[in-house]
Structure 1
Amino acid sequence: MINNTKYVKGNPEGGLTPITSPWMHQLFENQKLLSELFRKFSSPINIHHLPTFASTISSYKEVFESYDLKYQIFYARKANKSKSLVKQAFGSGIGVDTASLRELEQSIALGGNGNNLVLTAAIKTKEQYSLAIQNEIPIILDNFEELEQANNIAKQLNKKAIIGIRVSGFIVEESKLYSRFGFDIEKVEQFISKKLNLGSPYQNLKLKGLHFHLDGYSTQQRGKALSDCLNLIRSLNAKAFDISFIDIGGGILMNYLESEQEWTDFETKLKNAVQNDRNQLTFNNDGLGYEMVDGKLRGSLKTYPYFNKVNGTTFIKEVLDYSNLQTGKTNAQELKELQLELRIEPGRSLLNRTGITLAKVAHRKQDAKGQWLVGLEMNMTQMMSSSKDFLLDPFIIYKDSQESNTSVDVFFTGAYCLERDVLLKRKISLPTLPKIGDFVAFVNTAGYMMHFFETEAHLFDLSTNLFLNSQGDFTLTDFIDDNAMK
């Protein structure tokens, strides 16, 4: 037995403890409801708690309002495909950043328009240009050929395309930040002055803003990039341009973990295990980016930085408080002085604690090494991002009394016929081995983990996406299939 406790965090003693919300625990405690959900919707199930999403949106708004800034928040739709989140974004008074034709089409159908949508797709088709131009939705242009395409299609439609120019190549601490996207900051003023002036052949374009999106998570780099763009806008507007917004993209850090100590301890143990060739932490001794080369530890942790002291609203504040090296004024002061609208495109951080992924145990087995493998009714693409592993402890919901009270270490495996379909590369310690039919909950998966790499290989069904508006006392009818959202 488990001392009357029906659910438990994996790695009960330490591990990597995720920050959770009361709504998650209310659900974990209701095994009858969980069983009903799996009977109706199968496994895996993604659940999105819209009140949490709305609350995070409000906290971001409060930051900008505390600085008395003009602003617009665009939820980065690529982080999660659920339509309910788009509808909630509009209902909460923010916009949506779209990166494909289907994202744009769906967002328009759900109530989007030129005031609350933006198109930032890395590859833009004729259909995307046409739809955005017809609906007066701003298009962020990445290169000269995109500029020509937007102008030609706008001319065919007898309309003007509202555009922003993506800028990159910022110099921070004497080092130029490389990006495959955007116009070089050192050349873009001359380009805009030449190609988008009143006498240019591109009269079907209306330049309204600048845009950048930096790789990595440095507030200093973002602060410097914003400062450089503000200097550029000041110069361009002095030449009779009318730039009204600057969009600093996304990449706003979030914090997943309760304890910084657990995070630093994990990385220390991982490095020691790789160095000593006694890796007892991960499946098949995966160093998660660390490796031994010529007797020396090389590499770095190739995962998301799951613990961050500066995150969300404090991250934004650091960018706004960055001081312009020329004027000594902060970015926030410069924005007010220039009467510019600041735009951001958060995805992951805006979805903080909004979602969980639930799956059923399908089988248990021991491999040739004696390791316990617990197979779940899901596959690795249904909880995958660019991070080398998802470093949060899951929760196990035991349905009945257990076979023993002997603790066990397990790895969770998925349904693809691939050796590498291991859902978490970290070993998870449990108070007892789960049974077939028990449930596993992965928390805080709404941002990029649920859908970004999900496939239908083997003709598996895609995961079911449900949304929830209730704060508590959940019943089956509170959970609505996202496909029903209109």
Structure 2
Amino acid sequence: MTKLPILTPITSRWMEELLQEKTVLNELLEKHGSPINIHQTDAMEDNFSSYQKVFEEFGLKHSVYFARKANKTKGTVHKAHAIGMGIDTASYQEYTQCLEMGIPASEVIVTAAVKNRKLVEKAILHGSLLILDNKDECDLVQKVAAEQNKKAKIGFRLSGFFINEKKLYSRFGFDLLMIDDFITANFVESEKYDLLEYKGLHFHLNGYSMEERSYALAQCLAFSQLLSKKGLKTEFIDIGGGILMNYLKYESEWDYFNQQLRKAISKKTDEITFGNQGLGLEVATGILRGELKTYPFWSPITKGDYLRTVLSHKTYSDESVAEIAKNLGIEIRMEPGRSMLDQVGLTIAKVAFRKQDSNGNWLVGLEMNMTQMLSGSADFLLDPFVVYQEAGDQEHPVDVYFTGAYCLERDVLLKRKIALLKLPLVGDLVVFINTAGYMMHFFESSAHLFPLATNLIWNRTTETDRINAAHFQNDENL
């Protein structure tokens, strides 16, 4: 029988300490229900520092904004602001809450995909920067600014960049080949948008390609020079997010998983995913096609090193994009979300039942649903930990699927089959590691009237203190 792939997650010291405190975990679940999300925000300091050091290395003017949409807790926003970051907001609620938390409006930007009138009114009133995506948004912002008799600070989101003669598609932003005429007609040759105060350019690419970000930045820098000749000064270029982080301890495990997945869906070995799902791969007429549609959970180049690679990109003039930006006096901005939350959170759920399905697979049902740990990735490719209530039982290795509480056949929390030392008992705890970024909140819903998970912020003041339930504060009460 083929060995089932293991994917060992990187864990921080605080996670390892907490997993030893079975009594505390049980107390928290008893009080708050299952599942719970626990956040320890100290790692955000190192994550932020990894970017700061690179910008300083290049001598660039820079600003880093925490992408709030990656996690809805106030605790992560408090921490981001405390360490010197701005906040990138994607809704009226996110923006309003930041102001209510005391974050200066000048340090909050609005990049929401849909900007309703309420959001635009509030942003202009408080003087926050709005990143505009289309003509209709320009019309709305101009109208609201006129009503308030104020100018609105704006940037343009761009898309349609060319990479090796191929045009990148995005449904967001002004097309690079069209925006020049739009700006010329409405900002240079007329005063149609006279209350829109242009500040800079912005892009946010789908995926995680360093090459694409490098080319996009180079093309934005070139466009800024064109705008300068028309009298429009570009103060910043914002490269968005999508900066890679690494979840896994061992590259060899990642490689083995990819090999076995391809063998399994080609029916050359036993299935390793629920229903033998290919997670983006498929076999058609005997040929393996497609690509893995998951986050690249193993990545050798991450965070600051990733940013350094982008900024080091050489243009046709043999200057790096960093050198061009520095010579033009342009500030480089970015909006990391997931990578700012590396090692910040975990999700814990209680085992409700164990059973074998009609195919003989062991299913372990948890008191949570698939939306409480769900992102755009086809699967979350990290092994969870099981906190067994009874430690003395003899080990009998078993492979299981973890399933959720929705009345749907597809409510399988992890598509991948997981190898355990023994079958969990009802009441045992399953801990999913590193879920703070785009997992625990991004698609969370409360169908069946299930309550949303409680978000706890771990506020232990010193590491010498024995962990107890009093160290965990409900984020709603911050």
TM category, shorter: over 0.9
Q: Distance in 1 between matches of 2:104 and 2:24?
A: 38
Q: Distance in 1 between matches of 2:394 and 2:408?
A: 31
The structural deviation recorded for 1:238 is 2.8
User: Does the Cα contact within 8 Å between 2:5 and 2:256 map onto a contact in 1?
Assistant: no
The structural deviation recorded for 1:111 is 2.0
User: Does the Cα contact within 8 Å between 1:150 and 1:205 map onto a contact in 2?
Assistant: yes
1:248 to 239, 258, 268: 239
Deviation digits for residues 89-118 of structure 1 (CA, Å, limit 9, x no counterpart): 111110111111111111111123332111
User: Does the Cα contact within 8 Å between 2:265 and 2:271 map onto a contact in 1?
Assistant: no
Q: Distance in 2 between matches of 1:427 and 1:218?
A: 29
2:17 to 26, 29, 44: 26
User: Does the Cα contact within 8 Å between 1:290 and 1:300 map onto a contact in 2?
Assistant: yes
Q: Which residue matches 1:190? A: 181
Match of 1:358, SS? strand
After TM superposition, list the pairs within 5 Å mapping 1:46-445 onto structure 2. 46-197=37-188, 199-276=190-267, 278-325=269-316, 327-445=317-435
Q: Distance in 2 between matches of 1:260 and 1:166?
A: 36
Deviation digits for residues 282-302 of structure 1 (CA, Å, limit 9, x no counterpart): 112112122221122122111
Structure 1, unpaired ranges of 5+: 1-10
Q: Distance in 2 between matches of 1:127 and 1:331?
A: 38
TM normalised by structure 2 equals 0.96
The structural deviation recorded for 1:331 is 1.2
User: Does the Cα contact within 8 Å between 1:373 and 1:412 map onto a contact in 2?
Assistant: yes
Q: Distance in 2 between matches of 1:348 and 1:62?
A: 19
Q: Distance in 2 between matches of 1:12 and 1:102?
A: 48
User: Does the Cα contact within 8 Å between 2:5 and 2:257 map onto a contact in 1?
Assistant: no
Q: Distance in 2 between matches of 1:344 and 1:279?
A: 44
The code of the aligned residue for 1:23 comes to W
Q: Distance in 2 between matches of 1:162 and 1:302?
A: 37
User: Does the Cα contact within 8 Å between 2:70 and 2:438 map onto a contact in 1?
Assistant: yes
The code of the aligned residue for 1:418 comes to L
The structural deviation recorded for 1:474 is 2.2
The structural deviation recorded for 1:435 is 1.0
Identical amino acids, percent of aligned pairs: 48
Match of 1:115, SS? helix
Q: Which residue matches 2:476? A: 483
The structural deviation recorded for 1:475 is 2.0
Q: Distance in 2 between matches of 1:296 and 1:14?
A: 23
After TM superposition, list the pairs within 5 Å mapping 1:27-42 onto structure 2. 27-42=18-33
User: Does the Cα contact within 8 Å between 2:77 and 2:87 map onto a contact in 1?
Assistant: yes
Q: Distance in 2 between matches of 1:280 and 1:235?
A: 55
Match of 1:315, SS? helix
Match of 1:196, SS? helix
Q: Which residue matches 1:8? A: none
The code of the aligned residue for 2:60 comes to L
* Deviates most, 403-412 or 156-165: 403-412
The structural deviation recorded for 1:213 is 0.9
Report how many aligned residue pairs link the two structures. 474
Structure 2, unpaired ranges of 5+: none
Q: Distance in 2 between matches of 1:54 and 1:39?
A: 31
The structural deviation recorded for 1:198 is 7.6
CA RMSD of aligned residues (A): 1.6
User: Does the Cα contact within 8 Å between 1:12 and 1:430 map onto a contact in 2?
Assistant: no
Q: Distance in 2 between matches of 1:277 and 1:368?
A: 22
Match of 1:50, SS? coil
The structural deviation recorded for 1:30 is 1.0
Moved over 4 A (4+): 11-14
TM normalised by structure 1 equals 0.95
Q: Distance in 2 between matches of 1:218 and 1:112?
A: 32
The code of the aligned residue for 1:468 comes to W
